[in-house]
Copies of this chain bind each other. A is one copy, B any other.
């Protein structure tokens, strides 16, 4: 019991997330976001006009077809059937509608998954550098996050390190492929290895270890690459998806969670996920979005254009002296900072209205992340400024505080 005005749990989380929250709510970027003239590479946010078909779809499905159009709408049957059909067709796996749960994006699906399977004291492993909220969300769900590092430059799925980090308390491993921020797509062989490791570890512990498969970027693939899902290799996998990436509409909260076709004990897990959705705050997508799922499944942003931006920026940055690998998917480039202090370097870029995400905010100091959702015009403007920032950072006279 504490005498503070807020809960100890939230105070603890606030301490941990302080730098990230400050960046998103108090940094120069947070105040300049959306203003003309800046080059915004920070978040996976739209910097170009939305898809007209997305707008038309929202308007179409806002029109009521029945009296109960805007009634409470948990896990709409038609939306679930559509998702299952699309997964069957695209993946060749027999997903069932009753195993699909409509969520408020991947965020909502992760929250439901953590609560459905993990108790206080349970450990959930994640691979670092991670999507920035895994740690906080695992703690918020009452479980203990365990970090496992992936190594530059390949940032492969660290199966051996995961195996070494497993304890009798391990309840789940988060796999994020295509990976934010590294842009890696984990190959099927690595997922098979992981499945073997987890099957053995589960048997040893007498308790099932789940894979929570964050597939937010599964349709943002470059160079004609294919995507492999853990759900194809490991029956205790929970698929997490959002429409916020493929449509670049993260403000309209729509995603889903799906149980892998071969999962045992499905009846119980289904009930647990549903209850988790309810008790978390009726965390279902808006009725209109659920009605729109079949239409939205047909839409995508221009992935070739995204790839074109990658293929323009990677060689240009390398020519300036930046070290970076070529992402296989997602929105992101991940260059090394020319100086060890990525916060100082990104401040240097920010002075010239070029905004990127410092690696220190996602457990990868010495790097920064560039989102390819920036417009061509922003890239035009920013490239010479990336070059001059490199020069400035390396000049002994103007060296920043690092």
CB neighbours (8 Å) of A269 from chain B are 5-6
Question: From residue A264, how far is it (CB to closest CB) to chain B in Å?
Answer: 7
Question: Does the CB pair B275–A208 fall under 8 Å?
Answer: no
CB neighbours (8 Å) of A50 from chain B are 64, 67, 69-70
CB neighbours (8 Å) of A116 from chain B are 6-7, 10
Question: Does the CB pair B10–A272 fall under 8 Å?
Answer: yes
Judge if A366 is at the interface, Cβ distance under 8 Å: no
Question: Does the CB pair B279–A136 fall under 8 Å?
Answer: yes
In the assembly, what is the distance between CA of A176 and CA of B133, in Å? Answer: 33
Measured CB to CB, the nearest residue on chain B to A73 is: B251
Selecting from A185-193, A286-294, A305-313, the interface stretch reads A286-294
Judge if A108 is at the interface, Cβ distance under 8 Å: yes
In the assembly, what is the distance between CA of A117 and CA of B283, in Å? Answer: 21
Question: Does the CB pair B55–A62 fall under 8 Å?
Answer: yes
Judge if A71 is at the interface, Cβ distance under 8 Å: yes
Question: Does the CB pair B281–A108 fall under 8 Å?
Answer: yes
Question: Does the CB pair B140–A104 fall under 8 Å?
Answer: no
CB neighbours (8 Å) of A276 from chain B are 10, 140
Measured CB to CB, the nearest residue on chain B to A76 is: B251
Which residues of A from 7 to 30 have beta carbons under 8 Å from B? 7-11, 13-14, 17, 21
CB neighbours (8 Å) of A268 from chain B are 4-6, 11
Interface string of A59-77 (1 = CB under 8 A from B): 1001110111111110000
Question: From residue A182, how far is it (CB to closest CB) to chain B in Å?
Answer: 21
Which residues of A from 228 to 281 have beta carbons under 8 Å from B? 247-253, 264-265, 268-269, 271-272, 274-276, 278-281
CB neighbours (8 Å) of A280 from chain B are 111, 140, 280-281, 283
Question: Does the CB pair A282–B11 fall under 8 Å?
Answer: no
Judge if A58 is at the interface, Cβ distance under 8 Å: yes
Q: Say which size band chain A's interface belongs to.
A: 35 or more
Interface string of A130-158 (1 = CB under 8 A from B): 00010011011010000000000000000
Which of B21, B58, B64, B107 contacts A275, CB < 8 Å?
B21
Q: Known contacts A248-B70, A276-B10, A288-B252: does B46 contact A282 (CB below 8 Å)?
A: no
Question: From residue A243, how far is it (CB to closest CB) to chain B in Å?
Answer: 11
Which residues of A from 49 to 93 have beta carbons under 8 Å from B? 49-50, 54-55, 58-59, 62-64, 66-73
Judge if A48 is at the interface, Cβ distance under 8 Å: yes
The 30 listed contacts between A and B (C-beta, < 8 Å) are A1-B119, A1-B168, A1-B169, A3-B207, A5-B208, A5-B264, A6-B265, A7-B115, A7-B117, A10-B275, A43-B72, A47-B68, A55-B63, A59-B62, A59-B63, A69-B251, A70-B247, A70-B248, A105-B282, A107-B281, A110-B281, A133-B278, A136-B278, A137-B279, A137-B281, A140-B280, A252-B287, A280-B283, A281-B283, A286-B289
9 pairs of A and B residues whose beta carbons are closest in the complex: A251-B287, A111-B281, A5-B265, A140-B279, A70-B249, A6-B272, A73-B251, A107-B282, A58-B62
